Structure 1
Amino acid sequence: MFSPFNPRSASAYQRINVETSMHTIDQHQLVSLLYEGVLSSIATARGAMARGDVLTKCNSISKAIRILEEGLSTALDREEGGVLAENLGALYDYCLHRLILANARNDDALMEEVMRLIEPIAQGWNEIKKTGALAAAVAERPESRPVMAEA
């Protein structure tokens, strides 16, 4: 009646879910997901390297590199972004080189360095959204009048 579990079918459903969600998220959330993907891929690579799983390490580092190159770097608005976009672009390039070296040398310290560089940026990016939402909520709230104590 039911067929056995097929990983290809599960993968197809997952791919459809990702494609559908891509149309419903805003640009800020998309960049957050890219940062999360880079950090998750590096963490997976570090675990795989510790286990001696070369294939998973290489695939995970490759995924992190692709996210940095094709996602985060290409998303930078280098014309309007000014110095900030320039600095982020330089940081992404540095991280790319460090990940390539980490893969070639099996160097966990280099992967850890990239994580330490990307994590605060990812956290700061997430805080921007929270701060913006808080400011919007405060702006919509009617001003409250101070209560004066009667003498």
Structure 2
Amino acid sequence: MFSQGHGGANAYARVGVQTGVMGASPHRLVAMLYQGARQAIAQARMHLQQGNIPARGEAITKAINIIESGLQQSLNRDIGGDIAARLDALYTYMSHRLLEANVRQSEEVLVEIDGLLATLEEAWMAIAPDAAKMAAA
């Protein structure tokens, strides 16, 4: 994100993210995962347009890791039932499509997955008041 000459700025950005994560509710953490995955896809699109293959691959890998190790792993399959199962399948689909986007250099696929994540993020944010009430109870 920053050049090596901006080590201080890079460290400051990391501290900001770490502080945000440490003080975040579980609901906010999932929202941050959606935002992080979408940001990685935006970076992948930029690198694709610029022809920067290594950076594109790194950004797509980051998005896949957020989806698989963050969003997918946070699913509670015991309590979530059918919704959790469907989200699990959707996250698997997204990961496979992102791999395909990288191999085929497809901006169209990146846009598709960003759209899916945006829809999920919007729905997730819509339940924020209910999540806050449940956490307070």
- With the shorter chain as reference, the TM-score category is 0.7 to 0.9
Greater Cα shift, 97-106 or 18-27: 18-27
* 2:105 partner letter: N
* 1:39 partner letter: R
The residue aligned with 2:32 is 33
| Cα distance in structure 1, aligned partners of 2:35 and 2:87 | 16
Question: What is the aligned-residue RMSD (CA, Å)?
Answer: 1.9
| CA shift digits 1:83-131 (9 cap, x unpaired) | 000000000000000000100110111111111222111101011114x
The secondary structure found in structure 2 opposite 1:90 is helix
| Cα distance in structure 2, aligned partners of 1:20 and 1:117 | 28
The residue aligned with 1:66 is 65
Larger radius of gyration: 1
* 2:46 partner letter: G
| Cα distance in structure 2, aligned partners of 1:40 and 1:19 | 17
The secondary structure found in structure 1 opposite 2:78 is coil
Deviation for aligned residue 1:6: 4.4
| Cα distance in structure 2, aligned partners of 1:82 and 1:110 | 29
Q: Which has the higher helix share?
A: 2
How many residue pairs get aligned? The number is 130
The residue aligned with 1:13 is 12
Gaps of 5+ in 1: 137-151
Gaps of 5+ in 2: none
| Cα distance in structure 2, aligned partners of 1:107 and 1:12 | 33
TM-score, normalized by length of structure 1?
0.79
| Cα distance in structure 1, aligned partners of 2:50 and 2:12 | 30
**After the TM superposition, which parts of structure 1 deviate over 4 Å for at least 4 consecutive aligned residues?**
none
* 1:114 partner letter: I
Greater Cα shift, 106-115 or 17-26: 17-26
Q: Report 1 or 2 for greater relative contact order, CA contacts < 8 Å, sequence distance ≥ 6.
A: 2
TM-score, normalized by length of structure 2?
0.86
